[in-house]
Amino acid sequence: MDDPPRLPRYGHYIDGQPTPPASGRHLPTDDPWTGTAWAEIARGDGADVAAAVAAARRAGTSGPWATLTPSERGRLLWRVADLVTARADRLAEIEQRDNGKLATEVGAQVRYMADYLRYYAGLADKVHSAVIPTDKRGVFAYTRLVPKGVVGIITPWNSPLTLTSWKLAPALAAGCTVVVKPSEYSSASMVELAALFGEAGFPDGVVNVVTGLGAEAGAPLVEHPDVAHIGFTGGTEAGRRIYEMAARGMKTVTLELGGKSPNIVFDDADLEQAVKGVVSGIFAASGQSCQAGSRLLLQRSIHDRFVALLLDFMRDVRLGDPRDPRTQVGPIATRPQFDKVMSYIEIARAEGARCVLGGRARPDLGSGQFVEPTIFVGVNNAMRIAQEEVFGPVLAVIPFDDEDDAVRIANDIRFGLAAAVWTRDLHRALAMTERIRAGTVWVNNYRATSFTSPFGGFKDSGIGRESGVDAIREYLDIKCVWVSTDLDVPNPFVRR
């Protein structure tokens, strides 16, 4: 029996319809600022996933979607981008209520999502296949790029719509159909976004959303035999489990995982500029960002001076209500994540690192799910605070001697998502970009990303790339067609 709703309720979105969960069960979704539930989402399971995958499969094989030209798909994507622009305030408000990020940041992210959709709308009819020159006479070969089929998209809570659009836009441009499983902490915005696809004219079943827990709704999606590709963004541990499940079903994957990225400041850098880059690298979004610059590598000769500049910059930082435009640092998005960040602060202290800023929770603010921006000095790269992803506003400062030492420390880690180098010496900057093993390397800036440029990780930070022209190929299979130009079929017992 379904329990009576106390709060606004979000169902799944399956086959073009808001759909209640088969089990009748729901989960609360909390506002991290107030610490109380503001809505409920459907607690999906294998039955809901099966219905969504069946709808996606039908839409991809027999519905009108299957016969649209790439240009027609592009026009639909453009239309949904216009709807996202028109409804950006509403989408941002819901997403912000779920994950507690600064309202200004979420608003900008949602508007930028429309640009992602437009980029892939334009790309849909510009992906060329090839006629292959071969070494055989009497035949010619060409390739066809065919949509992989049903794509499962699984995303985290920190930037739900942005990270979903990184997969959704190229998958749809390629002609695939999708089932999205957003984070159980921030699903509402995705359910509302899905309805916009219907409004834009996407055929039923092309975009489906099943909400719920990773183990109950995410795992059945990964394991479903009719899902061809999994696009996942989240933590490295969940990513590894998903990769193993996908391997059993011979599915392809794109995995965007965790990071522990070094921000490397040399003594010849413009230190005032570097301070701003370091702060935005680790304290934007309260450090809840995969690309957070959570290791600050400082050349020994400027170590104390730079730390003093950093402390000076951070002196008047305002924590508070993320909806207040004056707030600079908001809450931690979930209670378990808050506990995790606080536990790492204890770990760092126990390892002998010295806290020079923050290090405390702020129970006096809102729900109390606040961690002060925190800086540890005296860190060496072997410590857990230097090696493990905290996903919070905690910076580990590590001194280095010279370029070789900086490269050794930067690369001595299992992650390889991003890195930045701060120096005025062009030769040094380029040499460092060559030697650092990371998917993105910034020179004298931090955080620049675009729908035009590939993003992804080396090592445990992931597999595959998102954004840019090539990302669409993650959603396409290559078929090679051989056509005889010679009416005479050769004798099968004589090799030519």
Among 91, 238, 265, 379, binds ligand NAD (CB under 6 A): 238
Q: How far is CA 86 from CA 16, 193, 415, 487, in A?
A: 21, 12, 38, 58
CA distance 205 to 53: 9
Please identify, among the stretches 15-23, 148-156, 395-403, 469-477, the one whose residues bind ligand NAD according to the rule CB under 6 A.
148-156
CB of 53 to ligand NAD, least distance (A): 14
Distance of closest approach, residue 486 Cβ to ligand NAD, in angstroms: 51
Q: Which is nearer to ligand NAD, 45 or 321 (CB)?
A: 45
Residue 98 or 192: the one with the smaller Cβ distance to ligand NAD is 98
Can you tell me which of 46, 235, 368, 454 binds ligand NAD, judged by CB under 6 A? 235
> According to the binding rule CB under 6 A, does residue 290 interact with ligand NAD?
yes
- 215 part of the interface to ligand NAD, by CB under 6 A: yes
Is residue 40 part of the annotated active site? The answer reads no
Q: Which of 183, 299 has the CB closer to ligand NAD?
A: 183
Nearest to 310, CA basis, from 279, 288, 286: 279
Residue 278 CB, shortest distance to ligand NAD, in Å, is 19
Candidate segments 40-48, 111-119, 150-158, 167-175, binder of ligand NAD by CB under 6 A: 150-158
Task: Tell me, residue by residue from 36 to 75, as one string, x for binding to ligand NAD by CB under 6 A and - for no binding.
Answer: ----------------------------------------
Per-residue contact string for residues 453-482; x = within reach of ligand NAD by CB under 6 A:
----x----x--------------------
**Site residues for ligand NAD, window 180-209 (CB under 6 A)?**
181, 183-184
Instruction: Give the footprint of ligand NAD on residues 376-405 (CB under 6 A).
Output: 389, 391
Q: How far is the CB of 456 from ligand NAD (least distance, A)?
A: 7
269-288 binders of ligand NAD (CB under 6 A): none
Nearer to ligand NAD, 155 or 328 (CB): 155
- Build a one-symbol-per-residue string for 79-108: x at contacts with ligand NAD by CB under 6 A, - elsewhere: ------------------------------
From candidates 10, 65, 116, 157, binder to ligand NAD by CB under 6 A: 157
Q: How far is CA 9 from the centre of its chain?
A: 26
Q: Which of 40, 184, 290, 389 is catalytic?
A: 290
Query: By C-beta, is 257 or 298 nearer to ligand NAD?
Result: 257
95 or 204: whose CB is closer to ligand NAD? 95
Minimum distance from residue 174 beta carbon to ligand NAD (Å): 20
- Please give, one letter per residue, the 3-state secondary structure of the chain: CCCCCCCCEECEEECCEEECCCCCCEEEEEECCCCEEEEEEECCCHHHHHHHHHHHHHHHHCCHHHHCCHHHHHHHHHHHHHHHHHCHHHHHHHHHHHHCCCHHHHHHHHHHHHHHHHHHHHHCCCCCCCEECCCCCCEEEEEEEEECCEEEEECCCCCHHHHHHHHHHHHHHCCCEEEEECCCCCCHHHHHHHHHHHHHCCCCCCEEECCCCHHHHHHHHHHCCCEEEEEEECCHHHHHHHHHHHHHCCCEEEEECCCCCEEEECCCCCHHHHHHHHHHHHHHHHHCCCCCCCEEEEEHHHHHHHHHHHHHHHCCCCECCCCCCCCCECCCCCHHHHHHHHHHHHHHHHCCCEEEECCCECCCCCCCCCECCEEEECCCCCCHHHHCCCCCCEEEEEEECCHHHHHHHHHCCCEECEEEEECCCHHHHHHHHHHCCCCEEEECCCCCCCCCCCECCEECCEECCECCHHHHHHHEEEEEEEEECCCCCCCCCCCC
256 is catalytic: yes
Is 369 an interacting residue with respect to ligand NAD (CB under 6 A)? no
Residue 159 CB, shortest distance to ligand NAD, in Å, is: 6
Query: Least distance from C-beta 152 to ligand NAD, angstroms?
Result: 9
Among 95, 184, 256, 466, which one carries the catalytic annotation? 256
Looking at beta carbons only, is 202 or 455 nearer to ligand NAD?
455
Distances (CA, A) of 196 to 6, 208, 209, 278, 311: 26, 12, 12, 38, 45
| Catalytic residue numbers, as ranges | 256, 290
Interface residues with ligand NAD (CB under 6 A)?
154-158, 163, 181, 183-184, 213-215, 218-219, 222, 233-235, 238, 241-242, 256-259, 290, 389, 391, 417, 457, 462
